[in-house]
Amino acid sequence: MLQCKDCEFFYRDEQTNRIILRCDPFGTIKEPECLQKWHLVRLDGLLQAYHNTLRWYQRLAPMQEKIFELMKREIEDLDDADSWKTESDLDGDEGEDEDDDVPGDQQPYN
């Protein structure tokens, strides 16, 4: 069985000590075990990307909470500012139908 370190498509990064397989799984795989190793290396890359994404979310979480609180205050301020519109409706039917003062069948002038 061919060892990865002896393969021409094997590369180890000296700075990060990561294993990089430059083989193409559809054309240059030499042995069945190569495909399994290639899958493991790709899964490791996906796992590292997922962990990096989680770190970013953890860094953004405090700022996101502040934005939510700010938006909540703004919405409450808007609701308070519009409360005068609904308070007159709750007081009663003041001035709802001004046409009711006209006696009989007479219609007001338009």
Using a cut of 0.85, tell me whether the model's pTM lies above it: no
- The predicted-structure confidence for 52-107, as pLDDT tens digits, reads as follows 999 999 999 999 999 999 999 999 998 888 777 776 666 655 555 555 555 556 66
Task: Read off the amino acid at residue 74.
Answer: E
What is the radius of gyration, based on Cα positions, of the chain? 36
Under a CB-based contact definition with an 8 Å cutoff, are residues 47 and 41 in contact? Answer: no
